[in-house]
Structure 1
Amino acid sequence: MTHRAAVLFDLDGTLADTAPDLAAALNSLLAADGRAALPFERVRPWVSWGAMRMIQLGYGETLDTARMAQLRNRFLACYEAGLCRESRLFPGVAEALDAFDAADVAWGIVTNKPGWLTEPLLAALGLSERAGTVISGDTLPFAKPHPMPLLHAARELGLAAKRCVYVGDNIRDIQAGRAAGMYTIAATWGYIPADDDPAAWQADRLMHAPDGLTPLAGELGALLGVA
């Protein structure tokens, strides 16, 4: 099937609220090392920055490469063990995906999460068979903010990049989308530290709640200049 346009999403902090399980994994790691747990409110803003930034937050010290690699492996093992205990789609996301399907708008996922975690998470969320394309952080030689994953996703959907929208909650999402030539939307409901200003990311639009996604199904023609 040929689609007229597509909406591509980041995963953690954009489509799915995975912070509870990632924070639990970090606290499991800290507990195993005899360290105090961190409050969820302190961990949540850093989830979209990835495992290493979360580990730095928890250990509060400069870690050499070998120590960081060891902790990262242990952290990911903790996360895999509780991958989708509390993770859910953000309210409004399921309705938006239904609207895209009904409007013949393709959609897919481009994440920096490794495939061995992305695939079971999407299965648990009921998205594996629905997404038109899924690009993980280890699918290609480069991950975001490089545009390669987004350009590859567009090719898999049979669309030019200019016919795609990319939605994400981190500056690297917007950097990747802009470099790929896509219309970009900053998802401000995601995991954003207090001192980070999404208005400075140069996204084409700021969106403050996931229920703003559903109207895109009827707006893409005008937004992207496609019939």
Structure 2
Amino acid sequence: MPSQINPTHIRGVLFDLDGTLADTALDMAAALNRLRVENALPPLPFTAVRDHVSHGSTAMIRIGFGDNLPKARFEALRRRFLDIYSAALAAETVLFPGMGNVLETLESRGIAWGIVTNKPGFLTRPLIAALGLTERSACLVSGDDLPQRKPHPATLLHAAQLCDLPPSTCCYLGDAERDITAGKSAGMHTLIASWGYIDAEQRPDTWGADDTLTRPDDLLAWIDANSLPVATPSLA
């Protein structure tokens, strides 16, 4: 069931990164396929990789090399994947269509926006810089900034604190069940980015989000529909 947070004035929007704010799948798939070629395996079609990108390097290695690798071999491949990816993490990555307008509109309305991701900081910081967003975002919380990661709510609560906002005035937008779980546990409004990396086996309708958005621009309409107007002082 969706959370029962009362409508309020939305003062902050927090975004997941991969599959929500930015389309990172081409660069992630390219890194995986380079790793496969290094290991005498043919490249995988992009369609076989895309919907697993939100689950990070562990998922990439499982897609590329299977689930039955010895632990040492798995970790060696994962480290090599991260080396390859970090060397070209913004070659093809862009904001999802319409997201640039969304960010500009939030800024024009005085609504703070930030990023909360499980992606490690050594990848997120240069990626956000390459997208030209470092100075614009109110916060950037990476997966290794705190001991906990999503679905634990700690990183979202930390982001709200960095924005100097009560969690109840924030919404969190993501494309994975852990995003919605974390947002609900943090007492935030939760929204599903249906344009993200959601494979056919997942059931977003069971995640309990407050709503599902079809495209980034829908966020602005959702905020308008779910915010109470800010009271203005009486001149009487």
SS at match of 2:145: coil
Alignment equivalent of 1:96, drawn from 102, 110, 133: 102
Give the CA deviation at 1:216: 4.4
Q: 2:27 aligns with which of 21, 40, 45?
A: 21
How far apart, CA to CA, are the structure 2 residues paired with 1:186 and 1:134? 20
Q: What is the CA–CA distance in structure 2 between the aligned matches of 1:218 and 1:62, rounded to whole Å?
A: 49
SS in 2 for 1:108: strand
Alignment-mate amino acid for residue 78 of structure 2: R
CA contact (8 A) 1:93 1:213 kept: no
Query: Size of the alignment, in residue pairs?
Result: 223
Counterpart of 1:125 in structure 2: which amino acid? Answer: L
Once the two structures are superposed, the pairs formed by residues 171-210 of structure 1 within 5 Å of their partners are 171-210=177-216
Cα distance in 1, alignment partners of residues 105 and 59 from structure 2: 35
Cα distance per residue 1:1-21 (max 9 Å; x no partner): xx9610000000000000000
Aligned residue type for 1:17? D
The 5 A counterparts of 1:100-111 are 100-111=106-117
Matched, 1:162 2:168: yes
Please give the TM-score of this superposition, normalised by the length of structure 2. 0.91
Q: Residue 5 of structure 2 corresponds to which residue in structure 1?
A: none
C-alpha contact (below 8 Å) 2:10/2:223 kept by paired residues: no
Q: In 1, are the aligned partners of 2:10 and 2:169 still within 8 Å (CA)?
A: yes
- Between the aligned residues of both structures, percent identity stands at 51
Q: TM-score, normalised by structure 1?
A: 0.94
* Residue identity matched to 2:62: Q
CA contact (8 A) 2:10 2:171 kept: no
Inter-partner Cα distance in structure 1 for 2:217 and 2:165: 25
Alignment of 1:42-61 (within 5 A): 42-61=48-67
Q: Match of 1:114, as an amino acid?
A: P
Find the aligned partners of 2:91 and 2:111 in 1 and give their Cα distance: 30
> Counterpart in 1 of 2:16?
10
CA contact (8 A) 1:19 1:44 kept: yes
Q: Any idea what the Cα deviations from partners look like across 1:34-85, whole Å, max 9, x if unmatched?
A: 0111000110010001111111111124123222211111000110111101
Residue number in structure 2 paired with 1:149: 155
1:98 and 1:6 map into 2 onto residues whose CA distance is 14
Q: Secondary structure at the match of 1:214?
A: helix
Question: How far has the Cα of 1:213 moved from its partner?
Answer: 2.1
Amino acid aligned to 1:129 = E
Residue 122 of structure 2 corresponds to which residue in structure 1?
116
The one-letter amino acid paired with 2:164 is G
Letter in 2 for 1:79: Y
Which entry has the higher C-alpha Rg, 1 or 2? 2
Gaps of 5+ in 1: none
1:28 partner amino acid: R
Q: Structure 2 stretches of 5 or more lacking a match?
A: 1-8, 232-236
CA distance in 2, matches of 1:105, 1:220: 14
- Structure 2 matches for 1:57-68, cutoff 5 A? 57-68=63-74
Whether the aligned pair in 1 keeps the contact of 2:10 and 2:170 (CA below 8 Å) is no
SS of equivalent residue, structure 1 residue 134: strand
3-state DSSP class of the match of 1:215? helix
